[in-house]
Structure 1
Amino acid sequence: MSGLLEDLVDPAKIVVIKIGSVPKQFKVEKELAIGKQSLFHFKNDDKISLEYPLLDKNQGKFSHTFGNWHYSNLTENNVTTINDTEVEFGSYTILKNGDVIRIKKDDDMLIFVFLKKFAGNLEWKRVPLNPEQKVYHIYSHVSDYLKNRKGEPAASIDETRSESEHHAVVRYTDGSWYVEDIDTTRGVLVNQNKIEGSRKLELYDVINIGDTHFVFVGDYLAYNHETFKNHDLEIHIQERSVRNMFKKQILLKDINLKIEPGNMVLILGGSGAGKTTFINAVTGYEKAKADITQGDLNVYNDYGKMKYKIGMVPQQDLLRGDDTVIMTLTNAAEMRMPSDTSFEARRARVQDTLDLFGLDAVKNELVDKLSGGQRKRLSIAVEFVADPSLFILDEPDSGLDGVMARDLMRQLRNIADQYKIVMVITHTPDRVIDLFDKVIVLAKNSSHTGQLAFYGSISEAKEFFNKETMEDIVLAINSEGEGGEGQADVFIEKFAKLQAEKATSSVENTEPEVDDAEVKTETGEKIASENITADDKKKSGKTPSGDTITPNPEVEVSLT
């Protein structure tokens, strides 16, 4: 069992930040202790030994229990907090991506940033903060920074900006720096707490904007840009077919797309377009002639491992009405977590899941006594308790009114924001369309075979079909006999041509690598960021060359 568990653990990363020093980055693949380096230090792969006086010899421990990383505090000789909440001696906390661990003793402090996915050792850079500059704009372009809203290569960085991008402002007011959230989709977090409006920054606060992690150091922002491309879901379905009376019937064919972690994706299509067939093929429930991978795992060839990473919530729940909510979740945890998982770890996971889905207040209620919305949330929680990286849901909002449906979909949005992939089939998408990142449109061609008619962002879909709503898009591809416009073949062919053109263009016009951050004045003059080095004693208001920055009312930090 232990060998299987090690295979299932995705490596995490610990970034150790001591102001004035180069951030140290450690790959964490198994239980790992942390403490002060002793005088006689011997190499030990199971311990991070650091030369910091404030640390205790046995400071703490990182451990993994099926789907969750934990941090345990093993000393009373200093103070440990996680996201500003103290961790008592002898206790542990389940870690989430971006969690900030602080070790404090007197006026000294050491910061650990926990990153759930290891994406290599990335350079840490800094942007000087000059009080005379007043305002810094921060943009995060994530994966499509070289494209404009039409999906075409952008003529300039400015052209890539859209309402859906992460956008924050760092502003100097009344002798202090503040960070403001400017209507971001996923929010701005300070020490993993989502801010509302603006928040005053304290020394060594950790700010998360999109996939970028900042540390506020008073006169500069230290940052790196974290992406998880090696955990993309790649779907290549050649065909899914059945035989009926010795005749082959192709249900689905020619579907090729890639989904990045952190995306909530709508699966759209009319009746008979192959939506259920598609999700069954992706999950491995019904195998197709296909190649479906996430990272280095193949859903079909590595199903023994992948089944723990996939959460599938069917339209009809399989809950037992005479069980209580907590009994249902406990049973699910027992089935999905290994037999050697401790009782405490399993109970903690169940409690975290109850809290996340707002079910703690009804945990002792019978399932049959729950409202429709609560029952839906419980169905999702049963799958979530195993912490899958891929969530697929078939009409989770069916039978719910608009308010309840939106509340449920917000829960799914929150799950996607934990760097998971969430795919949803719903027949009423327009009431929650702002919560989705992308849409897969499946259409039934003239041979009654489901094919890909579109894959891309919501705004791109509206432009591609020249429609204002998702319902209008479905009507466009439905047959005339189904009350539609009968344009399925037209859009299938149009999108196939578009994909072919993009594939050719990507080979012929490989874009050069772009630095992951820019600071610009209003006149467009670039102020370079600088790498953080061991001799980090430059003051704010200086460029790496030592030249003084001429103050401007606003600058931009553009994170690609």
Structure 2
Amino acid sequence: MKLILAQDRPGQRPAELSFEQPRILIGRDTSCDVSFEKEKYPMVSRRHAEMSWAGTSWVVADLGSSYGTYLNGRRIERPEAVTVGHSLQFGNEGPVLRVIWFDAIESPAAAVPSASTTPERPPAPLTATPTVLRNATSQAPPAVPSPSSSAIPARLEFADDPSRPAVVLSGTTISLGRDPACTVVFETSAATVSRRHADISRSEQGYVIADNNSFNGTLLNGQRMTEPALLKNGDKIQIGRGGPILAFVYETTAASPQPAASSSAAAQPEQDFSKTMVARLDAGTVRSAGTSEPQLIRTFSFSEKGSLTIGRDAGNDISLDGLQISNRHAKLSLRGGEIFAEDLGSTNGTFVNGVRISRQAVTPSDQVHIGTFLLRCDTSGQIAVFDTRAKTRIDVVAVTRDIKSGMGKKLRLLDSVSLSIKPNEFVGLLGPSGAGKSTLLEAMSGARPASAGNVLINNQDLYRHFDSLKQAIGYVPQDDIIHSELTVSKALGYVARLRLSRDVSSSEIKRMIDEVLDVTGLSDRRDVPVRKLSGGQRKRVSVAVELITKPQAIFLDEPTTGLDPATEDNMMLLFKQLAESGRTVVMTTHSMENIRLFDKVALLMNGKLVYFGPPDDALRYFEAKDFHEIYHKLERSGDAGTGGNTAESHADLRIKAAESLRQRYFSTPAYKEYVQQPLKELGEMAKSGARKKTRLGIFGSIRQFLTLSGRYLNVLFKDKLTLFILLAQAPAIALMTFLVVGADQPRDFVYFALALVAVWFGTSVSAREIIRERPIYVRERMFNLGIIPYLMSKLFILGFIVFFQCFLLFVPLKLMDVAGLMSMPGELFGVPQFWAMLLTAGVGVALGLLISAWVKTSEMATSLVPIILIPQILFSGLAGVPHGVSRVVSMTMPSAWSFDTMKRFSTLDTLEPEGADARGATKGLGLYKFIETENDRTLERAQRDIDDYKRLSGRGADGGGDLLSDKLVVPEIKRLPDDLSGYVTFLHPWMHDVLNQLILMLMFGVLVIATLIVLRLRDIA
């Protein structure tokens, strides 16, 4: 019974305390057996905790302290057994006592070692040999005889179905799952069980159970496994949280001696089997589902090399499962007595206290998050690994959401809403239309942060630490978040590549897709395009998208709207099963038929919480037969007393009625039990911080760009009719241009058509690309989507489309030119003109994407395209040389710069003097001016001839005869040629072939940057 404790004191030798009485009081009171100073440890209560001898082990219990008692970093809610190596902390950041030694067996014959014979345990050095310390006991587990040494074979008994016969483990490998080929087959209705869920195999050491990366996991004695574990007699195996339970029975014919506990319980650390990461508890011990404390799965210490690698690969020192974790994710290293956490270029990051880090020193008060796992270090250099799955508590504290109304006034959508949701609860947000259900759901999920208040996920501020918590959140908005053109499996595959670690293999992704399709009941629809699914099936696909990352909390906004009753029932059962399998599920709904499936409901009215608690209690509270009647009562309470008042006073009265209902609820025991008391446990909270987004980095951005480009290309090729129309319109326009342009007319219209149609191609093909998939963009942006790779993928694929469109327009016209059917001259066979056309189309694409990012609906985008194109026609210069204001406006039109570039590379002279070639046939005057000048000169010569004739003719009258009559001729006047196809009308004097290209490139860059800014502003809004 003797117990030795040691108090951890940073920088000092641990102070050892020895006790032989069966009860030890711990607190601030001087009468306690272990007393702490109030000034130094204000978080310790007067009578904080108690340790008592339970006959075979010591038990610690919290005595209702203000700040709680923590066992290995986990707050305890009931008495729990402790053993050697365990640490006890009293209050958050309070003093720490470590169990050093105790007598494991109470026997009259056993001599209790005296203090002089008890080996003094020195403080654990920070540079120790490689060890793995057991979490629940430092003694060896009961010996498990090898399979060959027992005459009675091992068997599995169905603990929750005694009528089912036990399964004898006779083979080398026993598989568990819903697949008919498994050794132990479960019913297809067992939603928590995967097709091939887990395997039990025989080895020299005994029977080993291993989870097959199942969707809902395998629990051993109430705790989720992360790696293979050696089974012992009496172990309880649960196939998914909330799933069927099997008992492992392995009895021997002869009693096998159980190893006695060492009298010196400070046993040496022992290597665990197969790096098993399962905390061994008594077979029947299962912690309360209501606790949000993470599950301790293993403790590590540093090796001689002074570092521990962490990742998904089994070769790491700390191997963690989860496809969001990279193979080599992070490293903990020991340098100069300090522990440093370092990210090894992981996809989804390493976080210390919610902040993504590259390398940072960590202290015992810090929390290191990697995927769904939490790591903590203590002062002795030991690393504890906790699993946070199936332990997600959500607290909403005074959440308020304000927006500006159309009149510039502030409109309050949520008014100081508070509630607390325990792990694995299925909660419904209810209320009349406009009550604030979706707004509250968006605030709780982080989709649209609240204006004030806090949302906590496992006591961490969601908005401040969103980057680390987003991996634990699934959010299904009202709109579908999948591309309808893709098949179900393809859509899920692209989501997996965007959200999971970049080193996840194709086979792992396929296995994950199979699992989520299995869970959502879509296995037989995997190769069906999403657009061909029913409404309920499409919503299931949206849920499957979120399940890819195995979130701990799932938020659903009106997921059953528009579904028939049978489909709605099935969907609600699916959501209930998700909660029972270890997730916290919150959803908004207007449906009244399945409300009793919820564990709790939150009723809202005008943004105020008027009830939160079990649905059956809500009926009694409102004295209603069903929820239809509750809704009617809420409506009537808002309408009461309005009479003939104005709409404004009607709204004010509804707000007053909602406030009255809220104050009534605040005075009920339900409010104290379900809201006030749980929130008191949180203590004081700082003001919620702004969301901080981390950068993807170069490699992350390139990976997203390639994935998004591949998905976009796949979407386009699935809609073959639209793609055909996009490409077929180019040769059709070429034919129409040939028919319209006369053979003898100037070439302006041909080049104008090339410039204008290039703008049309780019703008029309891109103007709806962002807005039509905005729900998908918003959800992916919440997770990890980068704005730059997203926009670049659009530019890249759309660039290819407009390239082929321009090619199919330009080349036919050029071939007609070569064949002599029409004239379209250009330098280098028109290559510079084609290049100018591509630049113009690129500007059009960028302009269309800016429109798509700015507008709120696809219809608005479609309406804006003609408004954008009409000025391109009017101010391009087709109507003549622009002057004054029109000249300034034309300089903002890409068609004007492109049109001028086409004409400059045509090698043709001009009709007007603007832009005429000084070295050409018109000598820089333009054809019109050149002919006019030549005719003027001819007339001048004729006039001189006439004057000479008159002068000489008069002298001839005196001297006899008309001396010059034979020299007079009629001068020939130059005329405009009938064929003007060798000319263009003019060139802009302020433009230049090189300058034009630079301006088009500048326009492209400015429009792209403007689109990035608009998308970023949308994030903020």
What TM-score bracket applies, with the shorter chain setting the length? Answer: 0.5 to 0.7
Give the match for residue 634 of structure 2: 477
Q: Which SS does the other structure have where 1:400 is aligned?
A: coil
Which of 623, 648, 659 aligns to 1:466? It is 623
Distance in 2 of aligned mates of 1:283 and 1:337: 20
**Is residue 193–residue 243 contact of structure 2 (8 Å, CA) maintained in 1?**
no
Distance in 2 of aligned mates of 1:376 and 1:301: 30
Distance in 2 of aligned mates of 1:318 and 1:503: 33
Asked if 1:488 is matched to 2:662, the reply is: no
Q: Which SS does the other structure have where 2:619 is aligned?
A: helix
Q: Which SS does the other structure have where 2:602 is aligned?
A: strand
**Is residue 402–residue 410 contact of structure 2 (8 Å, CA) maintained in 1?**
yes
Q: Which SS does the other structure have where 1:455 is aligned?
A: strand
Which of 383, 386, 403 aligns to 1:242? It is 403
User: Cα deviations across residues 227-285 of structure 1 (Å, max 9, x unaligned)?
Assistant: 33233111113421123455322221221111112111111011111111111111222
**Once structures 1 and 2 are overlaid, which stretch shifts more, 243-252 or 367-376?**
243-252
**Is residue 193–residue 240 contact of structure 2 (8 Å, CA) maintained in 1?**
no
User: Cα deviations across residues 532-557 of structure 1 (Å, max 9, x unaligned)?
Assistant: xxxxxxxxxxxxxxxxxxxxxxxxxx
Distance 1:303-1:461 versus aligned 2 partners, 3 A rule: same
Task: Considering fraction of residues, name the structure with more strand.
Answer: 1
Which of 524, 528, 543 aligns to 1:365? It is 528
What letter is aligned with 1:417? E
What letter is aligned with 2:284? A
Which of 513, 516, 519 aligns to 1:353? It is 516
User: How do 1:15-414 and structure 2 match up within 5 A?
Assistant: 43-45=130-132, 79=173, 81-82=175-176, 85=182, 102-104=200-202, 109=207, 113-114=219-220, 203=249, 222-227=284-289, 228-230=291-293, 231-244=392-405, 245-288=407-450, 289-414=452-577
Cα shift at 1:397: 1.0
**Once structures 1 and 2 are overlaid, which stretch shifts more, 331-340 or 236-245?**
236-245
Distance 1:194-1:443 versus aligned 2 partners, 3 A rule: closer
**Is residue 415–residue 422 contact of structure 1 (8 Å, CA) maintained in 2?**
yes
**Aligned residue pairs: how many?**
361
Distance in 2 of aligned mates of 1:281 and 1:432: 24
What letter is aligned with 1:292? V
**Is residue 268–residue 474 contact of structure 1 (8 Å, CA) maintained in 2?**
no
Distance 1:273-1:251 versus aligned 2 partners, 3 A rule: same
Distance in 2 of aligned mates of 1:389 and 1:200: 25
Cα shift at 1:407: 0.7
User: Cα deviations across residues 55-77 of structure 1 (Å, max 9, x unaligned)?
Assistant: 89xxxxxxxxxxxxxxxxxxxx9
Distance in 2 of aligned mates of 1:503 and 1:423: 16
What letter is aligned with 2:444? V
Distance 1:362-1:504 versus aligned 2 partners, 3 A rule: closer
Q: Normalization by structure 2: what TM-score? A: 0.31
Give the match for residue 437 of structure 1: 599
Gaps of 5+ in 1: 1-10, 14-21, 26-40, 57-76, 88-93, 119-125, 128-187, 206-214, 445-449, 511-560
Distance 1:55-1:320 versus aligned 2 partners, 3 A rule: farther
Gaps of 5+ in 2: 1-71, 75-82, 87-127, 148-170, 185-191, 211-218, 226-232, 252-279, 294-391, 643-653, 682-1021
What letter is aligned with 1:377? R
Distance 1:436-1:484 versus aligned 2 partners, 3 A rule: farther
Aligned residues: CA RMSD: 4.8
Distance 1:222-1:464 versus aligned 2 partners, 3 A rule: same
Distance in 2 of aligned mates of 1:232 and 1:504: 13
What letter is aligned with 2:595? I
**Is residue 193–residue 239 contact of structure 2 (8 Å, CA) maintained in 1?**
no
Distance in 2 of aligned mates of 1:426 and 1:503: 21
Give the match for residue 456 of structure 1: 613
**Is residue 476–residue 484 contact of structure 1 (8 Å, CA) maintained in 2?**
no
**Is residue 394–residue 456 contact of structure 2 (8 Å, CA) maintained in 1?**
yes
What letter is aligned with 2:605? A
User: Cα deviations across residues 138-167 of structure 1 (Å, max 9, x unaligned)?
Assistant: xxxxxxxxxxxxxxxxxxxxxxxxxxxxxx
Q: Which SS does the other structure have where 2:427 is aligned?
A: strand
User: How do 1:417-428 and structure 2 match up within 5 A?
Assistant: 417-428=580-591
**Is residue 395–residue 426 contact of structure 1 (8 Å, CA) maintained in 2?**
yes
What letter is aligned with 1:383? E
Distance in 2 of aligned mates of 1:111 and 1:502: 41
**Is residue 83–residue 192 contact of structure 1 (8 Å, CA) maintained in 2?**
no
Give the % identical residues.
Answer: 24
**Is residue 401–residue 415 contact of structure 2 (8 Å, CA) maintained in 1?**
yes
Higher normalized contact order (CA 8 Å, seq sep 6+, divided by chain length): 1
What letter is aligned with 1:433? I
Q: Which SS does the other structure have where 1:251 is aligned?
A: strand
